[in-house]
Amino acid sequence: MTKAPETVDPHVFVLFGATGDLCRRKLLPAVFRLTQKGHLRNRHVVLGVARDDGMDERSFRSFARQALEDAGFSDSELDTWCDACLFYQPIQGDGGDDDYTSLKARIEEIEAKREMPGNRAYYLAVPPKVFPIVIDGLGRHGLNESPGWTRLIIEKPFGHDLESAKKLNATVHEWFSEEQIYRIDHYLGKETVQNLLVFRFANQVIESQWNRSAIENVQITVAEDIGVGTRAGYYDGVGALRDMLQNHLTQVLTLVAMEVPAAYDARSIRNEKIKVLRSIRKIDKSEVVFGQYAAGEIGGKQVAGYLDEDNVPDGSRTETFVAARLHIDNWRWQDVPFYVRTGKRLAERLTEIIITFRKPPVQFFKSMELDGDVRRDQLVITLQPDEGFALHVDVKHPATDQDLAKVPLSFRYEEAFGKLADAYVTLLLDVLTGDQTLFVHAEEVEESWTLFEPLLDGTIEAVPYASGGWGPTESEKLIEDDAGRWRV
């Protein structure tokens, strides 16, 4: 069933923020996973870059080795790999010329020594305010081009409003072409998200139903059960809309709603995603609900409200929950509401896309569960915690003459294929093989901000909701107006 793994060109992978949390937890394990899977059989080098705090190459290798062990690797070649492939370059991090002159020299030295063709990937695992400094530094010192390919990977958040996003795009585009840029949204690396398009376009039975004739509404829920934790310093003033809705949920929505692309490649797919964003009707504030979690109970434990969390300023109006009804004004989706919601301290950790199909035009049968009311068929696509999907359909209940029972026709990825790779493994491989399909285009970023920024003018009040539920009752109301309801 498996074929030979795709082999990546020899390259230097330059990791900015190499000693940070994302590198430790996700990026270093992802790179090592790719070596194990045989994708990096060619020569490759990871060059860690971080602000100088006394770490040297030796201690970076120990740091990386520990990170890999923590990630569950116990490969006997771990030491060999760390010694052969890991390098470290401390910088001042002030954007000064010295940093990039010495970085350039280091890269060229490694490439010369290893006889590498000059392929370079720069991964910016650094705080957003550092993005422009690094990009500018790379550009001004000619590190935006090389004898081979040069690619730039940028973590979220990509701007905090339309203006900042445009400004960041401008900085990036000053030195890099869009074809070199990989804006990460790790949701897109999830198997189930990728499968969304495959499932639609590989199955005529599915794609032929994927429209307003067959579908009554679409729901996208990204629910967290945790609160802001120790991240209030970052989170307060950012909130659920910027942190989740503007990027993750919107990306998922564009994949659900997009037309069949001209070809299955990055350019065609991103083009269709941008079209979706442009077709979304200007959001009416009356169709948006902001919430902020109050105290409550989750899993039998009392938890504090947002305002009582550490480092949250008194009277903060930051929303920890947002729900909205969106309308896509195109031929495929007119009159099919898209409900999106995300929040912290909800009843469970759950990310789902729910396609609710229309009921049959004539109802011959009664549903046993609902006293004769017919619950619609639904396709429930689960991104978390158990990737897969289930088509919930009616069958005849055997105990009765012709009453219905709703049953799930279910598929679970790990049940069928074993443990899935982390999203970063997928996304890194795509970067290294030059596939931009699962990365966010500049225009997507700007269109998304254009859509959501008007909601951030402070006029929408975040209503309190009890921790451990499903957010404010106003969110239920939003969907009940259309005679629907959230699945959970």
Chain contacts with a second copy (rule: CB under 8 A): 1-3, 6, 191, 194-195, 198-199, 201-209, 213-214, 260, 263-264, 357-362, 364-365, 368-369, 374, 377, 390-391, 393-405, 407, 409-411, 413, 416-417, 420-421, 435
Shorter beta-carbon distance to a second copy: residue 129 or 416? 416
For the chain, the helix, strand and coil percentages under 3-state DSSP, each to the nearest 5? 40, 25, 40
Task: Return the half-sphere exposure (C-beta side, CA atoms, 13 A cut-off) of residue 299.
Answer: 5
Bridge partners of 154, per DSSP, are 124, 183
Give the shortest CB-258-to-a second copy separation in angstroms. Answer: 13
Give the shortest CB-327-to-a second copy separation in angstroms. Answer: 22
- The amino acid that residue 392 corresponds to is H
Give the shortest CB-431-to-a second copy separation in angstroms. Answer: 13
Grouping H, G, I as helix, E, B as strand and the rest as coil, residue 50 is strand
* Alpha carbons 189 and 198: distance in angstroms, whole number: 14
Of how many residues is the chain composed? 488
Give the shortest CB-17-to-a second copy separation in angstroms. Answer: 28
* Alpha carbons 201 and 209: distance in angstroms, whole number: 11
Shorter beta-carbon distance to a second copy: residue 149 or 411? 411
Give the shortest CB-418-to-a second copy separation in angstroms. Answer: 8
Residue partners of 449: CB distance under 8 A and separation at least 6: 159, 161, 162, 165, 246
**Secondary element (H or E) of residue 355:** strand 350-357
Which two three-digit tokens encode residue 58? Answer: 């030796």
DSSP assignment of 439-461 equals: SB-HHHHHHHHHHHGGGGSS-S-
Shorter beta-carbon distance to a second copy: residue 78 or 374? 374
* Alpha carbons 246 and 327: distance in angstroms, whole number: 15
Mind telling me the catalytic residues? 248
- The amino acid that residue 356 corresponds to is T
Shorter beta-carbon distance to a second copy: residue 304 or 368? 368
Give the shortest CB-39-to-a second copy separation in angstroms. Answer: 11
Shorter beta-carbon distance to a second copy: residue 73 or 199? 199
Shorter beta-carbon distance to a second copy: residue 251 or 318? 251
- Among 134, 136, 146, 184, smallest CA distance to 439 is for 184
